């Protein structure tokens, strides 16, 4: 049996501060049309795809940042993307900042089916970085000031002929995120990211950014028998160099497609969703082999408790 889904990771190069939504959407449309010519059924765009990665700056009054957030999806600027995708019969997933009607600020990804219907909007769970201005840094990573952590957890959705899951950037470093979706039978996880290569708290990690990116997505895929589509906004954005290396990972943990550039680039893979059962029904037969009674610390405890 095979259930083929042709997927594209639509990597973006930098989006500078003065780039308008219309300019960015034009780039997304170009990638979408390339995807159409290659028979792609689902295109995945990065985290915060519509704007520059604005948490690198701090503003004392958060209302000054309101213009970085969308108020609804679709909206006037993104409607052409929704229209073109529907005309081409392509679904897509896109990350953006959302300021909701109650004034809450979220880092989200919306998944849209091939008929233009919205499958779900996922809100980022693990919010990295810092809450307050840290003037000694060469650039800020103030996501914890700009976004609330999601209260939702990791759902999955029946769409695109399979079981789809979403995570956003830092979520991909946490094995619990994959496992919670794995326990719901996830077959493909879609993950946009913006990862500065310079990690200010520990620069010794800088040269390992690409290794760590692949490490977490390959192991998350393998240990849960799922495809993972990781999509970067890479290149030098407002002076900050960000990791590219978008990739599509098979349930075996193997990378089946990887971006070569740090710019706008489409990578495509024909993914057999039925390949997942080779892992889900054998080595990672959860029902047969897992020992949840031994894992209670995972949900009862947050930080480390060392022995006396």
Q: Which is nearer to ligand CDT, 129 or 225 (CB)?
A: 129
| Tokens of residue 282, six digits | 């054998």
Distance (Å, whole) CA 126 – CA 84: 32
Shortest Å distance, C-beta 137 to ligand CDT: 10
Q: Which is nearer to ligand CDT, 13 or 225 (CB)?
A: 13
Shortest Å distance, C-beta 170 to ligand CDT: 3
Residue 260, CA distances (Å) to 173, 201, 245, 246, 265 in order:
22, 28, 7, 9, 8
Work out the number of other CB atoms within 10 angstroms of the CB of residue 57. Answer: 17
- Which residues of this protein are in contact with ligand CDT, per CB under 6 A? 47, 128-129, 141, 169-170, 173, 193-195, 199
Q: Which residue has the tokens 């985290």?
A: 47
Asked if residues 294 and 28 have their Cβ atoms less than 8 Å apart, the reply is: no
Asked if residues 213 and 207 have their Cβ atoms less than 8 Å apart, the reply is: no
Q: Which is nearer to ligand CDT, 32 or 50 (CB)?
A: 50
Shortest Å distance, C-beta 88 to ligand CDT: 29
Shortest Å distance, C-beta 107 to ligand CDT: 8
Asked if residues 243 and 11 have their Cβ atoms less than 8 Å apart, the reply is: no
Give the catalytic positions in this structure.
47, 124, 169
Q: Which residue has the tokens 């010794």?
A: 204
Q: Which is nearer to ligand CDT, 147 or 284 (CB)?
A: 147
């Amino acid at each position: 049996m095979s259930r083929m889904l042709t997927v594209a990771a639509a990597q973006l190069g930098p989006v500078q501060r003065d780039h308008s939504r219309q300019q960015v959407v034009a780039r997304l449309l170009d990638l979408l049309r390339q995807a159409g010519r290659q028979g792609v059924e689902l295109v995945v765009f990065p985290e915060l795809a519509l704007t520059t990665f604005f948490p690198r700056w701090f503003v004392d009054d958060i209302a000054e940042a309101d213009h970085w957030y969308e108020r609804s999806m679709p909206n006037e600027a993104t409607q052409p993307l929704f229209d073109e995708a529907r005309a081409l019969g392509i679904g897509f997933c896109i990350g953006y900042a959302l300021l909701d009607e109650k004034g809450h600020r979220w880092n989200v990804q919306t998944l849209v089916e091939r008929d233009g219907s919205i499958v779900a909007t996922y809100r980022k769970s693990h919010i990295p970085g810092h809450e307050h201005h840290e003037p000694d840094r060469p650039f800020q990573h103030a996501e914890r000031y700009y976004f609330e952590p999601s209260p939702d957890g990791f759902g999955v959705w029946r769409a695109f002929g399979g079981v789809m899951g979403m995570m956003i950037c830092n979520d991909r470093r946490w094995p619990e995120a994959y496992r919670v979706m794995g326990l719901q039978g996830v077959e493909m996880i879609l993950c946009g990211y913006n990862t500065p290569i310079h990690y200010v708290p520990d620069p010794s990690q800088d040269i390992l950014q690409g290794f760590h990116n692949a490490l977490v997505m390959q192991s998350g895929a393998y240990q849960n028998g799922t495809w993972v589509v990781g999509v970067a906004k890479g290149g030098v954005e407002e002076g900050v160099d960000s990791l590219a290396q978008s990739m599509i990972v098979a349930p075996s943990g193997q990378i089946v497609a990887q971006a070569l550039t740090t710019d706008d680039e489409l990578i495509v893979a024909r993914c057999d969703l039925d390949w997942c059962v080779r892992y889900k029904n054998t080595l990672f037969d959860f029902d047969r082999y897992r020992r949840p009674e031994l894992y209670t610390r995972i949900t009862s405890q947050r930080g480390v408790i060392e022995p006396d």
